[in-house]
Amino acid sequence: MNILVIGSGGREHALVYKLKQSSHVDRIYCVPGNAGIAKDAICAPISPLDTTGLIDFARRNHVDFTVVGPEAPLVNGVIDAFENNGMPAFGPTRLAAELEGSKCFAKNLMQKYGIPTADFRIFDDFNQARRFIANHPYPLVIKADGLAAGKGAIVCRDKAAALAALKRLLIDAEFGPAGEKVVVEEFLQGEELSILALSDGEHLACLAPSQDHKQIFDGDRGPNTGGMGAYAPTPQVTPELLEDILHRILQPTVKGMALEGRPFKGVLYAGLMMTDQGPKVLEYNCRFGDPETQVVLPLVEGDLLEALLAAHDGQLHEVKWRQKNGAAVCVVIASGGYPDKYEKGKPIFGLETPLPHNILIFHAGTRQQGSQIVTEGGRVLGVTALADTLIDAVNAVYSAVGKLTFDGAYYRRDIAAKALIRGNRGR
Ligand code: AMP
Ligand code: GLY
């Protein structure tokens, strides 16, 4: 089969890496891809939002199956467009992708089907919202309804901050139409986890539970980023807890979506807060997470393509779905200044250094410039180590990260530290 992967980040590089292992694969294409993906797949400069260009490319190259990485094309309906042209593609339809594309839709769905989440109210009127927050306990969280590139959730410590956030969204329209409606919700305390599962519209296959590190600085300080590193499996999630999450959150979500006439096929990603009252949903994503994918896919035992095809065909229950033993840790190397302003075009050194077999380098913001690979984005590389234990994976990943350099390179030093501290405490 010829496979097309849409996207250009570390997530897509991990998808290409894993799909390439399938015995069913002849060729892999990736658009637009990046300098690292270009070593494993045939890349072409087509935007993930250029639906006509994508379909044309897939047709010309006899693509048999397409896998979509980012949320924006999914929310735009890229899957509907491929399928309407008779071209099978993995991911949710436009209506199903609203689970990520509209926080109001997601919150209403959770309320209707009894899925645990923060208490909330929805507003499109500034004055009504202002009256509501006047008597609300703090902190509280205000979220833009639509996609806002990860910047749409504002944690407000006091009434002044909440008023400012409401003004940014509802009056100044800082996020455009994405902020015409807002969710005002209760602040939840706890540790965040990412649970990703393949869904065929009815059945689910869970990937290893993982944890992202969203803030730029060690100790979860500083502004949020796309994600600075991840590890899996998270020892915080026992098999019993995973069962509980499956029964109380993931299955009711998939069932609810089917009942709403929006069967969800693709990757269901639940961002959870582990509160004193148990796991609650912070948000859904309708796709593979990044960097989570860079740790969960290397832990999949067997043929990912077979599982994706089965999910597409509603046959996920026929697949033998297993995870490898051991642990994976990914550290993201970012451009200095990210997530704010940063420079591009810095030559990257160390990519040719031979690395141990348990180290994988996934490219994100990289570009080939003559014979040199240079930086091209905020998140530049994801380095993943696989090992029998989490501590071995942490040690392996940091010794590899130290060999990769570019001007201004920055990475967090504490990826997976929360799990290791917990382990040392014997929990
Ligand atoms: P979201 O876009 O909804 O995932 O929110 C982005 C980030 O904001 C989450 O990863 C959390 O760190 C934080 N956040 C969102 N909602 C809440 C909440 N209700 N309580 C505490 N933190 C939250
Ligand atoms: N790692 C967060 C996300 O993929 O949305």
CATH number of 191-424: 3.30.470.20
The topology (CATH level 3) of 2-93 is Rossmann fold (3.40.50)
Q: Residue 89 pLDDT more than 70?
A: yes
Q: Determine whether 209 is exposed, middle or buried from the number of CB atoms within 10 Å of its CB (0-12, 13-18, 19+).
A: buried
Predicted local distance difference test score (pLDDT) of residue 168? 93
Q: What is the mean pLDDT of residues 160-164?
A: 94
What lines the ligand 2 site, CB under 6 Å? 212, 227, 285, 289-290, 292
Q: Which of 207, 210, 292, 379 to mutate to test the pocket of ligand 2 (most atoms within 8 A of CB)?
A: 292
Q: What is the mean pLDDT of residues 113-141?
A: 94
Predicted local distance difference test score (pLDDT) of residue 425? 57
The domain defined by 119-186 carries CATH number 3.30.1490.20: yes
DSSP state of 160: H
**Per-residue confidence band for 150, with pLDDT thresholds at 50, 70 and 90:** confident
In this prediction the pTM is 0.96
Predicted local distance difference test score (pLDDT) of residue 15? 98
Domains of the chain, residue spans: 2-93, 119-186, 191-424
Predicted local distance difference test score (pLDDT) of residue 424? 64
Task: Quote the ligand 2 centre to 131 CA distance (angstroms).
Answer: 33
Answer for the pair 87, 59: CB distance below 8 angstroms, yes or no: yes
Give me the residues paired with residue 28 across strands: 3
Residue owning tokens 């009434």: 159
Side chain identity at 91, as an amino acid letter?
G
Q: What is the mean pLDDT of residues 80-88?
A: 98
Q: Which of 141, 175, 269, 285 to mutate to test the pocket of ligand 1 (most atoms within 8 A of CB)?
A: 141
Q: Residue 426 pLDDT more than 50?
A: no
Three-class secondary structure of residue 36 per DSSP: coil
d(CA 372, CA 395): 29
Q: Is the peptide bond before 116 cis (omega within 30 degrees of 0)?
A: no
d(CA 202, CA 312): 11
Cα dihedral 32, 411, 19, 252 in deg (nearest 10): -100
Q: What angle do CA 197, 202, 206 make, to 5 degrees?
A: 20
Q: What is the mean pLDDT of residues 99-122?
A: 97
d(CA 357, CA 47): 33
Q: What is the mean pLDDT of residues 109-122?
A: 97
Q: What is the pLDDT of residues 292-344, one digit of tens each?
A: 999 999 999 999 999 999 999 999 999 999 999 999 999 999 999 999 999 99
DSSP state of 414: -
Q: Is the CB of 187 under 6 A from ligand 1?
A: yes
Percent of the chain with pLDDT over 90: 93
**Hey, do 2-93 and 191-424 end up sharing a CATH topology, with the first three levels equal?**
no
Q: Determine whether 288 is exposed, middle or buried from the number of CB atoms within 10 Å of its CB (0-12, 13-18, 19+).
A: buried
Predicted local distance difference test score (pLDDT) of residue 149? 79
Q: Is the CB of 191 under 6 A from ligand 1?
A: no
